[in-house]
Structure 1
Amino acid sequence: MPERYQLVRTPERLELRDTQDPKVGSVYVDFLEGKARHRRQFGGGKGQDIAKAIGLHKFKHAHVVDATAGLGRESFVLAALGCTVTMLERSPIVHALVDDALRRALASADSEVVDIVRRMTLHLADARTWLKQFKHDPGADVVYCDPMFPERNKSALVQKEMRFFHAIVGADEDSGSLLELACNCARYRVVVKRPRHAPELAGCKPAFVIGGKTVRYDVYLGKATAQEYTQQ
Structure 2
Amino acid sequence: MTEAAAAVAWRLGADRVESARDRQHAATLGLTPINDVPALGFYIERDDDGLVLRHAADPAGTGLRCALADTTELADRQAGGRRSPLARAFGLHRHAPMRVLDTTAGLARDAATLASLGCDVTAIERQPALYALIEDATQRIHATPEQRPVWWSHWQWPVHADAADWLSADAGQKAFDAIYIDPMFASPRRKSAPQKALAWLAELAGTDEDAPALLEIARAHARRRVVVKQHARAEPMAPPDLQIRGRAIRFDIYLTPRA
* Normalised-by-shorter TM-score class: 0.7 to 0.9
Give secondary structure in 2 for the equivalent of 1:26. coil
State the distance in 2 between where 1:221 and 1:93 align.
33
1:46 aligns with 2:91: no
- Alpha-carbon distance in structure 2 between the residues aligned to 1:221 and 1:153: 26
Write the distance in 2 (CA, Å) between the matches of 1:37 and 1:53.
Answer: 18
Tell me the secondary structure at the aligned position of residue 125 of structure 1.
coil
TM superposition score normalised by structure 1: 0.85
Runs of 5+ unmatched residues, structure 2: 1-6, 9-39
Distance in 2 (alpha carbons) for counterparts of 1:43 and 1:172: 28
- Partner Cα distance (1:114, 1:148) in 2: 30
Q: Structure 2 length normalisation: TM-score? A: 0.77
Query: Distance between the aligned counterparts of 2:156 and 2:145, measured in 1?
Result: 16
Query: Amino acid of the residue matched to residue 74 of structure 2?
Result: R
Question: How big is the shift at 1:90?
Answer: 0.3
> Closer, same or farther in 2 for the Cα pair 1:147/1:117, shift >3 Å?
farther
| Residues 135 and 184 in structure 1, CA contact (< 8 A), matched pair in contact too | no
Aligned-partner SS, 2:101: strand
Q: Provide the residue aligned with 1:175 in structure 2.
A: 211
Q: Which amino acid aligns with 2:73?
A: A
**Whole-Å separation in 2 of the counterparts to 1:100 and 1:185:** 29
1:22 positional shift: 3.2
Q: CA RMSD in A?
A: 2.2
Q: Which runs of 5+ in 1 are unaligned?
A: 226-232
For 1:131, the aligned partner's letter is L
Q: Which position in structure 1 is the counterpart of 2:242? A: 208
- From the superposition, tell whether residues 138 and 27 of structure 1 become closer, same or farther in structure 2 (CA, over 3 Å): closer
SS at structure 1 position matched to 2:206:
coil
Residue of structure 1 equivalent to 2:49: 12
Partner of 1:33: 70
Offset at residue 165 of structure 1 (A): 1.9
- The reply to whether residue 151 of structure 1 matches residue 188 of structure 2 is yes
Larger displacement relative to structure 2 (2-11 or 75-84): 2-11
Identity of aligned residues (%): 35
Asked if 1 retains the 8 angstrom alpha-carbon contact of 2:102 and 2:121, the reply is: yes
* Aligned partners of 1:71 and 1:97 also within 8 Å: yes
The alpha carbon displacement at 1:185 in A equals: 0.4
Distance in 2 (CA, whole Å) between partners of 1:169 and 1:35 is 26
Q: Larger helix proportion, structure 1 or 2?
A: 1
- Sort the Cα spacing of 1:117 and 1:173 in 2 relative to 1 into closer, same or farther, 3 A: farther
Give the stretch that moved more between structures: 183-192 or 48-57: 48-57
The aligned counterpart of 2:3 is: none
